[in-house]
């Protein structure tokens, strides 16, 4: 099936299940498009009594991995789409039709190069079946309980076809709808495609699980299972058993002794700590990938999609969050301009004014008192007004923030995202942007410069004096004279120790 045919098939399936422009939203369209869509619906759409969420779930399941991923994100936002809608989409998280057990066993034997009974003493039924892979419960010969993840047969061809169709659709949108170009549809699809392709090699997921697991297992907010490295291949991944109840199950939030507020706080803090402190975060944190244990322990699985932030992006994120927490909208606006998120021809104060209109109705409010639908509409209006383009490097971060905040709301409906974020953001700011931290960073840069100059025969004393004067000039606008004196003296000691 070529890409054009697949695209038309996609449109037809969405229309068939009234999931393209459903009748429930028809009143939002202008008269002529409403009439045209209504005519197409009357000709092609099935006559069913299914709710909107049920129709989308059936259509997305037929359309494959890319649309199932979209359904998983939508299913975290009950505050926007309604409880019935997200409940109807919930089975897309880990309850899709599984492929046969015989196929799974054959894939394990072929991928790991051994008979199943030479690796496992038990190989159980399907635990969960998702768009890319399914998982089985098993027990290793040494007695350890494990989860075995196996890619779906021929999934590589399906994903490649999805990517080709999305890329073509993005190019068409960019060509025919100039107003959508600031959303960078082609770059957006490219980012999504890259993350999908990485999911097709479970060795890379094992590496991500090991990398992120080593950092988050040392923190109190979230845990990750350990990888059984000698049982990993491109199509099969074995990890130690994740304790707890999947958050996607209805009984998860009724566990005895569960502390809902603390659990929601832990989720937000775990995500922000991964993104800010380590620059690598789990980018697929929907309920199907989270296990919960009372009182407030979270365990994450499925590290197939990982987001990464460079140091400067982490600083921008931290400063923007900190600015919102302090209601310093001018600083938040300045960071947007420094990062290049808002074109320079706009006015910083006007942008700060717009941000105040967004922040004040939200900060300090319980989640139940905030309309996320209205907030997102306002944010979209502001991004259009100030010519803000989608940033491909932030797509996974933004997508994960939407999912995580939605999951936290489901865990604890009155959750306050900003207060949950405060300890992590404040700690990062104190560590990375405090006067001491800035002096240390300057010292490190100067020491590095001095060593280079020493190798080239530069005059060290002259450089030290110049460095001290530069430090005074740079920090004089920010710190008091006493702090400056301490910084300069400390810098001199550090340099003397480095070059002696």
| Residue numbers annotated as active site | 284
Distance CA 376, CA 406 (A): 13
Residue 412 φ/ψ, nearest 5 degrees = -140, 95
Query: Are the C-beta atoms of residues 221 and 269 closer than 8 Å to each other?
Result: yes
Other CB atoms within 10 A of residue 112 CB: 19
Distance CA 207, CA 204 (A): 5
Distance CA 277, CA 120 (A): 38
Distance CA 232, CA 138 (A): 14
Q: Name the nearest CA neighbour of 89 among 98, 79, 97, 78.
A: 78
Distance CA 18, CA 404 (A): 29
Distance CA 230, CA 276 (A): 32
Question: Under DSSP, is residue 245 helix (H, G, I), strand (E, B) or coil?
Answer: strand
Query: Are the C-beta atoms of residues 283 and 306 closer than 8 Å to each other?
Result: yes
Query: Are the C-beta atoms of residues 14 and 165 closer than 8 Å to each other?
Result: no
Question: Under DSSP, is residue 29 helix (H, G, I), strand (E, B) or coil?
Answer: coil
Question: Under DSSP, is residue 240 helix (H, G, I), strand (E, B) or coil?
Answer: strand
Q: Name the nearest CA neighbour of 445 among 374, 498, 370, 386.
A: 498
């Amino acid at each position: 099936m070529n890409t054009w045919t697949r695209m038309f098939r996609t449109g037809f399936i969405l229309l068939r299940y009234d999931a393209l422009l459903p009748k429930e939203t028809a009143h939002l369209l202008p008269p002529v498009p409403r009439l045209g869509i209504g005519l197409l619906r009357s000709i092609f759409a099935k006559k069913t009594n299914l709710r909107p969420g049920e129709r989308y779930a059936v259509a997305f399941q037929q359309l494959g991995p890319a649309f199932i991923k979209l359904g998983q994100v939508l299913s975290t936002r009950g505050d926007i789409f309604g409880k019935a809608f997200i409940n109807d989409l919930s089975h897309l998280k880990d309850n899709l039709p599984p492929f046969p057990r015989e196929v799974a066993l054959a894939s394990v034997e072929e991928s790991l190069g051994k008979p199943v009974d030479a690796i496992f003493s038990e190989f159980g039924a399907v635990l969960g079946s998702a768009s890319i892979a399914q998982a089985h419960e098993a027990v290793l010969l040494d007695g350890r309980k494990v989860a075995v993840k196996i890619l779906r047969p021929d999934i590589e061809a399906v994903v490649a076809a999805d990517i080709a169709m999305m890329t073509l659709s993005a190019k068409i949108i960019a060509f025919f709808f100039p107003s959508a170009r600031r959303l960078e549809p082609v770059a957006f699809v490219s980012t999504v495609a890259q993350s999908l392709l990485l999911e097709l090699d479970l060795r890379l997921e094992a590496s991500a699980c090991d990398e992120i697991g080593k950092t988050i297992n040392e923190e109190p907010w979230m845990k990750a299972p350990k990888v059984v490295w000698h049982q990993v291949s491109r199509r099969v991944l074995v990890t130690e058993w994740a304790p707890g109840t999947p958050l996607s199950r209805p009984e998860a939030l009724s566990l005895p002794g569960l502390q809902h507020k603390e659990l929601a706080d832990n989720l937000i803090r775990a995500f922000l700590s991964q993104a800010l402190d380590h620059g690598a975060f789990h980018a697929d944190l929907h309920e199907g990938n989270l296990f919960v244990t009372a009182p407030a322990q979270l365990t994450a699985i499925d590290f197939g999609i990982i987001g990464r932030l460079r140091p400067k992006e982490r600083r921008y994120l931290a400063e923007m969050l900190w600015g919102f927490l302090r209601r310093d909208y001018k600083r938040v606006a300045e960071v947007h301009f420094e990062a290049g998120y808002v074109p320079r021809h706009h006015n910083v104060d006007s942008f700060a004014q717009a941000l105040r209109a967004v922040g004040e109705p939200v900060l300090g409010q319980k989640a139940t008192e905030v309309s996320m639908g209205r907030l997102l509409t306002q944010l979209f209006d502001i991004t259009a007004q100030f010519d803000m383009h989608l940033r491909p490097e932030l797509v996974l971060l933004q997508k994960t923030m939407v999912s995580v905040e939605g999951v936290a709301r489901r865990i604890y409906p009155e959750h306050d995202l900003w207060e949950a974020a405060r300890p992590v953001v404040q700690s990062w700011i104190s560590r990375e942007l405090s006067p001491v931290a800035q002096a240390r960073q300057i010292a490190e840069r100067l020491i590095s410069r001095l060593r280079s100059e020493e190798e080239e025969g530069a005059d060290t004393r002259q450089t030290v004096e110049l460095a001290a004067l530069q430090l005074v000039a740079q920090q004089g606008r920010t710190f008091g004279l006493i702090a400056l004196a301490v910084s300069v003296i400390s810098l001199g000691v550090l340099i003397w120790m480095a070059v002696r």
